[in-house]
Copies of this chain bind each other. A is one copy, B any other.
Amino acid sequence: MTGRLAIVGLGPGAPELVTPQAAEALAAASDLVGYAPYLARVPEHAGQQRHPSDNRQELARARHALDLAASGRNVAIVTSGDPGIFAMASATFEAVETGAPEWRRIEVTVVPGISAMLAAAARVGAPLGHDFCVLSLSDNLKPWETVLARLEAAAAADFVIVLYNAASTARPWQLGEAFRAIARHRAGATPVVFAHAVSQADERIEIAPLAEADPSHADMRTLIIVGSSATRLVSRGTDAPFVYTPRHAELVAP
């Protein structure tokens, strides 16, 4: 007997940003697998088994979910944001590829969610209004030289740059080095958005010029957006300015 596995994105936190498709997949599941704080966001349903885990061991968590599905259960892996953006979907397909052949017969679906970058961008205006790159700053699974090479390429080609996994207690210096790499190609006045816990109770948004952006203001729940050369502020008196990137772009030297 083979069950099903849905990898479900809860969005950034607020219940009104959970899609009906996600709510339905969660309500229909016999088993919920995921990082404990994400499971805590899901409404309780009678008879549903919960399998909370810590924030590491993504492959082990995916294998556990696939094992349950292979035994006939209807499993949902719960993620924050969108499952496909630096979350559990990639680890799950890696587990399928490297795991038992029968896992390939499990019906696996990905239920998209509002990713942190979309929620953060919406809060400040439209900083992702033109070409952008999205990088994880974590060097747990790739060499730091690769992170730097990608940052330099993105900055030189004048992309807006979105940084996931910008900082944690175990990775305290990477964001400062990333800002310095980008600053070799960008003016000091370039807007940088620090978006912490968007749509949650402790949401905090900060906008700073690149030259004054303080990496210590980021933690593991902070998404960073660094503007392109075209990204602009629209002042509004005492209200926070809007940040947007225009739809048109100038010539970039190849």
- Inside 8 A of A250's CB, which chain B residues have their CB? 142-143, 146
Contact assessment for B110 and A149 in the assembled complex, using a CB-CB cutoff below 8 Å: no
Contact assessment for A91 and B247 in the assembled complex, using a CB-CB cutoff below 8 Å: yes
- Inside 8 A of A15's CB, which chain B residues have their CB? 20
Tell me whether chain A's interface is mostly helix, strand or loop, or mixed: mixed
Given contacts A134-B134, A253-B149, contact A122 B83 (CB under 8 A): yes
- Please give me the residue from chain B that is nearest to A131 by CB atom: B135
Cα A90 to Cα B149 in complex, Å, equals: 29
Q: Does A97 count as interface, using CB distance less than 8 angstroms?
A: yes
Q: Does A31 count as interface, using CB distance less than 8 angstroms?
A: no
CB distance from A230 to the nearest CB of B (A): 10
Q: Does A179 count as interface, using CB distance less than 8 angstroms?
A: no
Q: Does A126 count as interface, using CB distance less than 8 angstroms?
A: yes
Interface core residue of A21, A96, A121, A126 (most chain B CB under 10 Å): A126
- Please give me the residue from chain B that is nearest to A109 by CB atom: B122
Q: Does A27 count as interface, using CB distance less than 8 angstroms?
A: no
CB distance from A231 to the nearest CB of B (A): 10
Of the residues B20, B133, B244, contact of A134 by C-beta under 8 Å: B133
- Inside 8 A of A184's CB, which chain B residues have their CB? none
Cα A150 to Cα B94 in complex, Å, equals: 30
Given contacts A129-B84, A132-B134, contact A252 B146 (CB under 8 A): yes
Contact assessment for B126 and A247 in the assembled complex, using a CB-CB cutoff below 8 Å: no
- Please give me the residue from chain B that is nearest to A145 by CB atom: B251
Cα A84 to Cα B154 in complex, Å, equals: 20
Interface core residue of A86, A143, A234 (most chain B CB under 10 Å): A234
- Inside 8 A of A128's CB, which chain B residues have their CB? 84-85, 134
Contact assessment for B19 and A242 in the assembled complex, using a CB-CB cutoff below 8 Å: no
- Inside 8 A of A105's CB, which chain B residues have their CB? 236-237
Interface stretch of the complex, out of A40-48, A111-119, A166-174, A211-219: A111-119
- A–B Cβ pairs within 8 angstroms, 22 of them: A14-B21, A84-B127, A89-B244, A91-B247, A94-B247, A96-B242, A104-B236, A105-B237, A110-B122, A111-B122, A112-B119, A115-B118, A118-B118, A131-B135, A131-B150, A141-B249, A145-B254, A146-B158, A149-B254, A150-B157, A150-B159, A153-B153
